[in-house]
Structure 1
Amino acid sequence: MLQDKRLIEYHFDRNDTNYSVGDIFLGTVKKVMPGLNAAFIDIGYQKDAFLHYGDLGEQFPSMMKWSKGVQSQKITTGALKTFQFEGTLDKVGKAADVFKKGQQLLVQIVKEPISTKGPRLSMDISMAGRYLVLVPFSNTISVSKKIVSKTERERLKRLIASIKPDNFGVIIRTVAEGREVAELDKDMQSMTANWETLFQTLRTAKPNDKVLGELGRSSSMLRDLLNESFDSITVDSAPMYEEMRSYLQKIAPDKLGLLKLHTGKVKVFEHVGLEKQLKTLFGKTVTVPGGGYLVIEHTEALHVIDVNSGNKSNQESDQEATALMINMLAAKEVARQLRLRDMGGIIVVDFIDMKSAESRKKVEDAVRDVMKHDKARFTILPITKFGLLQITRQRVRPAENIVTGEVCPTCGGTGKISASILVTDEIDNSIEDLLVTQNQSGISLYVHPFLHAYYTKGLVSKQMKWYLKYYKWVKVMKDTSLGLTDYRIEDERGEEIELQSPAAAMSRLQDREVEELTD
């Protein structure tokens, strides 16, 4: 997600895992842990998932009764209109009293597997829609605290009370503010259909089966983040474009015009200037716009961010003013980095020492002001006398981390470098081989920006010399994701051409020269 062309959120969809926040499974109790007041649940993941007694929800007895009834075929409808509720769960009870080894439970993932831990589970099941969240076995209607107008809160409660199914509770999300009953009813019907799907799947489900899957990462992000401030949504995959188009058609038909399919030959991240930002924003050291830099360290227990002044230490008249100026700039970048990397758990920020309590409060307020746009829940404690700011931020997914230390493309990390200047000879040989020997045309050469300048700049550029020599035009394109000595060549259909090794190309060229000398 970009704001004023600057990256503020980056999500990576891990296709190697089948476990996402919001997925509902039929789990099996593997081990009861009285000391933790919890149980470990098998949902098919390599590490058993964790279910604490406090995450069972008040309606745990009703949920157990309903799921057993569905599996035994005694309950024949997904509607809860005639379902008789059980009593509520004792809030201070013990796990050993409700869990039994081998017991089957309907559970929902609330936190993805992180580090060495398995998923975190809840039995307080809910289904999120665009404007509403549906909560079975409840009759409560609650409204987001961010909707502050008393009139609007009452209006929304009245509307939802008239359209919600019996024995289902509803949480009204912030984006529902100002929406008409038709839009809310459409959202309600969609979630009710999801509940019906869960009911039908549960009837024949086996232990560890996924009973109901959450939307794909892209669609769920649109559901949760899309608002009036969006200017465009760009996709570079035709199947993903169709998926998102059909989802937008359902949830926000008026936003269809924002969705664009990127079909250019230049990669979409390269086209919008994202490759460079990704490489500079995810390293251990991050430059702060306006002055100073951050050093970010990740440990098992917490994340540590150190603020340094860099070359901005002499801009103000005294030490306190200098520290405040750098800390204010760093505070905004710290808040942005937390959201960008999706860092959660405990974060400790070591600001430059400030003697004034007023200065410390200004920096703390600056962090809070930028983080108010963050979707994750967070708590910020006052800055200590040592200049340490402690933050806790909701962690539901592993923190994003991009390895930005590049392995030398020439030596491959061995420390032995052959002459990198030979890359231009290799490219020249490959171009000649493709254009003359293989009679290719319409080819595109992708190179590092430095090499792009080498081939395209000048009165008679190397690119023009190729044209004058072969009478075929070679497109030369920048690709900042490539190393200085890396390159790739694509044909007119945009498919990469498999090249022989540089050594083989050089050998073939030498053979040709020998033949010419012999002749």
Structure 2
Amino acid sequence: MQQEKIQRTLVFSDSDQEVRVALLEGDELSEIFFEDMEADRNSGKIFSGRIENEVKSLEAFFVNIGMKKNGFLRFKDLVGLPNEYRKGDMLLVQVRKDGTNRKGPQLSMQINLPGRYVVYMPYGEGSIGISRRITDQDERDRIREIAEDVIYETEGLIFRTNCQGVDRETIEEEVLQLRNLMRDIVIKFNKTSKPDILYSEEDFVEYIVRERMDNKTVKIVVDSRNLYNKIQNILTEFEQKPALELYDRDSFNYKNIYEQLEDIFARKIPLKSGGTITIDKAEALTVIDVDSASNVKGKNVEETSFSTNKEAAYEIARQMRLRNLAGMIIIDFIDMNVPKHREKIINIITEESKKDKARVTIVGFTHLGLLEVTRKRTSAAIESLVFSPCPICHGTGRVAAPAVIYNRMIKDIEDSLSDLKDHEIKELIISVYHNLSGYVTPEVRKELETKNNIKINFEFNWNDPNSYNIRFKK
């Protein structure tokens, strides 16, 4: 399976309310973006912020940038030393990682300004980085020579994959544009005295074209004339241009994208060989289990296991990007006894991860045979954007057993009547979830009435299986 040679297609679908984008590798969906979800994304934005307090135990400042929660600025992400800053100081900061329901955004004073060909670092102190996807050594030497000529001592540059083959003059022009942009941001910062946003990247369509189009992108498909014209205008600024196609219906019908979207939400993903992978998420941990299931190909158990694991490795790398998984990822591959088979699996994950914009680290197999992987992302997992936690089970996927609720309810009834024995209570009205119908029978109700000398009515209209409601009628 030569995954490296697979060509990419960007598919834009323009509905009345938002633009959606799918990235295809060959015919397979590998990433998905929704405009209204990206609108809430703060990663990359630059703010003026005020230091609210210092937490030495965390080696960080909490910084007010005008959002609901203060941002978290680690000492190692400062420009200068921690003792140079005091509570109340105004800082120029950039959001490196979006916040969550529990945490504010992660901030840095080490500003990065992305262009089409380079990422400009005004405080980079001479650092030069070159995309790992540029493998030709002569090209890497050419790029490094340009970098050394164009940057000042205090600056840094990261050369993106798109800069491969681009002439010196074009690169120098973009560096100058980004340098001027940074100058304008600093001028705005010097004029402000309160937390506020100073810079936000271009609109959604421009952002996607810049961030996801590379030299393997052969086609862009759109389904509206307005979007076609807009992207056509954006592409005039690129030296290498993919074909632009206007689709005559909803472009998410292209290559069965709608059907493939189901993969994002499924817990169990079937493999073509008959095997499966199962994905379970916790707060900061994702566990992926590989199962051969109905796959019986191979001369022996080792060969069958290796064959399934290879296919699973490609799919797992795709799912990590598609779902935007992050944190620690533990993969339970089918047991393999041949060391070179394990090495091959690690190589597959490593190579596939080169397609990933997020930083992926392959830790290796544990002594229990589990592969440890970490993936660092800057924005929320797509699952958290599409779904909200269930108000009943709070995301656990479980509710209390009816017997547990029933026994608790009986105890509550008796305790309540004991507390109210001096009051003239003539009737109890108890609302319960319908799954208690097998417990709260007419016989049980009669027994409770006799025991407590009170009329009791049960109503099966409560909408929470974990609770009930007791009302008193005088």
Same-fold status (TM-score > 0.5) = yes
RMSD of the TM alignment (CA)?
A: 2.8
The answer to whether the 8 Å contact 1:294/1:308 transfers is: yes
Cα distance in 2 between the residues matched to 1:117 and 1:237: 39
The answer to whether the 8 Å contact 1:141/1:172 transfers is: no
The answer to whether the 8 Å contact 1:12/1:400 transfers is: no
The answer to whether the 8 Å contact 1:283/1:403 transfers is: no
The answer to whether the 8 Å contact 1:361/1:383 transfers is: no
Q: 1:248 aligns with which of 235, 238, 246?
A: 235
Cα distance in 2 between the residues matched to 1:366 and 1:15: 31
User: For residue 52 of structure 1, what is the aligned residue in structure 2?
Assistant: 74
The answer to whether the 8 Å contact 1:139/1:167 transfers is: yes
The answer to whether the 8 Å contact 1:197/1:212 transfers is: no
The answer to whether the 8 Å contact 1:143/1:153 transfers is: no
Change (3 A) 1:44 1:139: closer
* Displacement of 1:246: 3.4
* 2:308 paired with 1:337: no
Cα distance in 2 between the residues matched to 1:101 and 1:369: 46
* 2:338 paired with 1:356: yes
The answer to whether the 8 Å contact 1:205/1:211 transfers is: no
* Deviation sequence 1:288-339 (CA, Å, 0-9, x none): 1222111111110201111122211x33343222222211211111111112
Q: 1:384 aligns with which of 366, 372, 379?
A: 366
* Displacement of 1:221: 2.8
User: For residue 9 of structure 1, what is the aligned residue in structure 2?
Assistant: 31
Change (3 A) 1:192 1:178: same
3-state SS, counterpart of residue 8 of structure 1: strand
* Deviation sequence 1:153-173 (CA, Å, 0-9, x none): 443344345445685433333
Tell me, which stretches of 5 or more residues in structure 1 are unaligned? 62-88, 90-94, 405-519
* 2:185 paired with 1:202: no
Cα distance in 1 between the residues matched to 2:236 and 2:255: 26
1:396 counterpart letter in structure 2 = T
Cα distance in 1 between the residues matched to 2:97 and 2:288: 24
Q: 1:225 aligns with which of 212, 230, 233?
A: 212
* Deviation sequence 1:460-479 (CA, Å, 0-9, x none): xxxxxxxxxxxxxxxxxxxx
1:122 counterpart letter in structure 2 = S
* 2:178 paired with 1:191: yes
User: For residue 167 of structure 2, what is the aligned residue in structure 1?
Assistant: 180
More moved, 374-383 vs 121-130:
374-383
* Deviation sequence 1:236-273 (CA, Å, 0-9, x none): 455554543433223x1552x633444x3x32212441
Q: 2:51 aligns with which of 7, 17, 29?
A: 29
1:109 counterpart letter in structure 2 = V
Q: 1:155 aligns with which of 142, 149, 155?
A: 142
Change (3 A) 1:358 1:170: closer
The answer to whether the 8 Å contact 1:21/1:214 transfers is: no
The answer to whether the 8 Å contact 1:241/1:261 transfers is: yes
User: For residue 286 of structure 2, what is the aligned residue in structure 1?
Assistant: 303
Q: 1:131 aligns with which of 113, 117, 124?
A: 117
Q: 1:368 aligns with which of 337, 350, 356?
A: 350
The answer to whether the 8 Å contact 2:131/2:158 transfers is: no
User: For residue 260 of structure 2, what is the aligned residue in structure 1?
Assistant: 277
* Displacement of 1:15: 4.6
3-state SS, counterpart of residue 344 of structure 2: helix
Q: 2:128 aligns with which of 142, 156, 161?
A: 142
3-state SS, counterpart of residue 188 of structure 2: helix
* Deviation sequence 1:107-155 (CA, Å, 0-9, x none): 0011112352221110011211111222224562514163455544443
Cα distance in 2 between the residues matched to 1:369 and 1:138: 28
Cα distance in 2 between the residues matched to 1:207 and 1:19: 22
User: For residue 303 of structure 2, what is the aligned residue in structure 1?
Assistant: 321
**How many residue pairs align between the two structures?**
364
* 2:349 paired with 1:396: no
1:268 counterpart letter in structure 2 = S
* Displacement of 1:356: 3.1
The answer to whether the 8 Å contact 1:32/1:99 transfers is: no
* Deviation sequence 1:330-389 (CA, Å, 0-9, x none): 111111111211211110011122233333223222322322322322111222343311
3-state SS, counterpart of residue 312 of structure 2: helix
Change (3 A) 1:224 1:98: same
User: For residue 464 of structure 1, what is the aligned residue in structure 2?
Assistant: none
User: For residue 107 of structure 1, what is the aligned residue in structure 2?
Assistant: 93
Cα distance in 2 between the residues matched to 1:115 and 1:148: 40
* Deviation sequence 1:88-112 (CA, Å, 0-9, x none): x4xxxxx4x3442222110001111
Cα distance in 1 between the residues matched to 2:340 and 2:154: 52
1:43 counterpart letter in structure 2 = I
3-state SS, counterpart of residue 274 of structure 1: helix
The answer to whether the 8 Å contact 1:291/1:329 transfers is: no
* Deviation sequence 1:448-500 (CA, Å, 0-9, x none): xxxxxxxxxxxxxxxxxxxxxxxxxxxxxxxxxxxxxxxxxxxxxxxxxxxxx
User: For residue 269 of structure 2, what is the aligned residue in structure 1?
Assistant: 286
Change (3 A) 1:242 1:21: farther
Cα distance in 1 between the residues matched to 2:307 and 2:104: 43
User: For residue 402 of structure 2, what is the aligned residue in structure 1?
Assistant: none
Could you say which structure has the higher strand fraction?
Answer: 2
